[in-house]
Structure 1
Amino acid sequence: MVRAGAGIVYAALFIGSLLFGVVPTAVFASVMSVLCCYEFYRIMRLDGKVPNEFVGLVASVLFPLSVLVDPVWLTVINFLLVLLLGLWYVKNPRTRIADVAVTAFGAIYTGYMLSAIVLLREAIPGLEGALLSIGVCASLWLSDSFAYMVGSRFGKHKMVPKISPKKSWEGFFGGLLGSVVVWIIIWWTGLYEINLWFSILCGVVVSIMGVFGDLLESRIKRGVGVKDSGNLIPGHGGMLDRSDSLIVGVITAYLMLHLGGVL
């Protein structure tokens, strides 16, 4: 019940920000980014790394907000991030290149990648844009849910037991089905210039990339020996645990829709 309640609150806040417009979406994505980035740096500190948290966290906040000004600012912030970390490395002889790399990766992995939520919401104005953004996120959430339900009941063949022991191939294909169902609904609404086969392709690819995002975060945690990235969301762990599939899945959807001429 606690897990379900926390998940409902998270989803309500997320969907509410998408419905209320680009600015609330950017603010929500920025909060998600900085929380995810903070948890990532916490994990890295346990592994003996010393990230420059001030620079990294500021970048993670600014990435989603910068889309409100102009998407070109994503490149500007990336440049400034590398420049500042380079100056930090040159100035401080005790700083290791691993600390610089971890700092940069944390900000890009969270802030830059989650900026795709804002880019997607901004691409189509009004309610249609909100519904498409919700649909993309829902496809990843339903993929996770279907994977869990199918894997719990029928899962026998493990995918990557050393990284994520509970994931099975049966659950993986169940997740694909859940994602494709949502993308078919997106096509069925007739609100967007997208054909059925491209919708199915998007559903499959986005689901696969969402699983990759989940495995990537699991690999990061197992490399350090922690179960959860944090305890912010009861029953779910940290914000990074909750957002791992979105981090990779949403930017994949945005790129596919953009390159496919839908946006």
Structure 2
Amino acid sequence: MERNDASLRTRVITATVYSATLIATSLISTITTVIAIAILSGLCAFEFYAMLRSDAKLPNELIGTIAAALYPVSYAVGHFTGVLTLTAVFATVVLVWYVFYTPARITDVAVTFFGALYTGLMLSFLVVVRTDIAGFWGGFTVVVILASVWLNDTFAFFIGTKFGRHKMAPRISPNKSWEGFLAGMVASVGIWCIMPFIPGVYLSFFWAITGGIACGCIGILGDLVESRIKRSTGHKDSGNLLPGHGGFLDRCDSLILVAAMASLILKFSGTI
């Protein structure tokens, strides 16, 4: 019992520090948001490559991690032109490495390229929201998106643990249940219903509910994707940098896809 209490305490402390840091950096300014997302992208990419390297792959962690960290910066500096420019430079550098580093295989090129896109490019959509909605409320909107992911995870975990009977994907993630999924969906929709009240976010309740459902669904897909990667590479966690939670990629698995989906919902609704 004492061990379980200590483990729960560690999880709560880590989650509090992690969440508070992202909330604060999102609200302070666009620059702090970009810096935080760039660091987060780099850490997630580093953990991704570490898992794949141990699976007898030889990705170029240095190039991939740098590219992942630069994706949020590229949008902040040059918007989509900046992102395309970075992607072109990144692809060229990786191909030069492939040509002159003879042990590298084409699969290593693919893993290197995918890792940066999977982490840095996808998380950059939070920067899209932060920069395209003016001022403080852009940061507040980012916080709402983060909260939708965190509360989805929390509701899914506790309801799934207590009432979960029907397994969602037992071969990939044995602890996921449909009961937990539905609870998380309710939390996601509830948080998204805050959006219409945010100044500068011209979102109807139809789009808010649509966004909550879409992000709830895509979030669980992100979770299952990372679970599949870990299972295929023989890892329980993506890393050990977050006590009680594993690695940064473990904390961002849902957010990676939710960030992109949320940005698209806000785009199609005419908000950004």
Aligned to 2:85: 76
Structure 2: state its 5+ residue gaps.
Answer: 1-8
For these two proteins, the number of residue pairs brought into alignment is 263
Query: What residue in structure 2 maps to residue 145 of structure 1?
Result: 154
Flag the 1:164–1:77 CA change in 2: closer, same or farther, 3 A. same
1:99-154, Cα deviation, whole Å (9 max, x unpaired): 10110011111111111111111111222112111111111111111111111111
Could you tell me how far apart the structure 2 residues matched to 1:191 and 1:104 are?
36
Residue-by-residue CA offset, 1:68-110 (whole Å, 9 max, x unaligned): 2111111111111111111222223321111101100111111
Does residue 1:163 correspond to 2:154, yes or no? no
Aligned AA (2:114): F
| Distance across 2 between alignment mates of 1:62 and 1:186 | 29
Matches within 5 A, 1:199-214: 199-214=208-223
The answer on 1:26 being equivalent to 2:27 is: no
Q: Select between 123-132 and 248-257 the one with higher mean Cα deviation.
A: 123-132
Q: Residues 4-40 of structure 1: CA distance to partner in whole angstroms, max 9, x if unpaired? A: 0100000010000011111000100011011101100
2:207 aligns with 198
Change in 2 beyond 3 A, CA 1:237/1:191: same
Moved more, 78-87 or 13-22: 78-87
How far apart are residue 188 of structure 1 and its match?
Answer: 4.2
User: Alpha carbon RMSD of aligned pairs, Å?
Assistant: 1.1
Please report how far the alpha carbon of residue 190 of structure 1 lies from its aligned counterpart in structure 2 after TM superposition: 6.2
Q: Deviations over 1:159-191 (max 9, x none)?
A: 000000000001111110000000112224565
Q: Is the alpha carbon distance of 1:94 and 1:139 closer, same or farther for their aligned partners in structure 2, counting shifts above 3 Å?
A: same
Do residues 66 (structure 1) and 85 (structure 2) align? no
Contact 2:203-2:271 within 8 A present in 1 as well: yes
Distance 1:193 1:58 in 2: 35
The one-letter amino acid paired with 2:176 is: K
Say if 2:182 is the partner of 1:173. yes
In the other structure, the counterpart of 2:264 is: 255
Q: 1:226-255: per-residue Cα shift (whole Å, max 9, x none)? A: 100001011100000011111110111001
Mapped to 2, the partners of 1:224 and 1:158 lie a distance apart of: 23
Aligned residues: percent identity? 43
Q: Which runs of 5+ in 1 are unaligned?
A: none
The question of 1:41 aligning with 2:49 is answered yes
Structure 1 residue 54 and structure 2 residue 62: aligned?
A: yes
Q: Secondary structure at the match of 1:67?
A: helix
1:13 aligned residue (12, 18, 21):
21
Q: Partners in 2 of 1:218 and 1:96 — Cα distance?
A: 25
Q: Secondary structure at the match of 1:261?
A: coil
- The question of whether the paired residues in 1 share the 8 Å contact of 2:141 and 2:198 is answered with no
Q: 1:218 aligns with which of 214, 227, 235?
A: 227
Q: Which amino acid aligns with 2:143?
A: I
User: Aligned pair 1:243/2:252, yes or no?
Assistant: yes
Distance (Å, rounded) in 1 between the aligned partners of 2:27 and 2:194: 18
Match of 1:120 among 118, 123, 129: 129
The TM-score with structure 2 as length reference comes to: 0.94
Q: Indicate the SS of the match to 2:103.
A: coil
Q: In the aligned structure 2, how far is the partner of 1:125 from the partner of 1:188?
A: 15
1:167 and 1:80 map into 2 onto residues whose CA distance is: 40
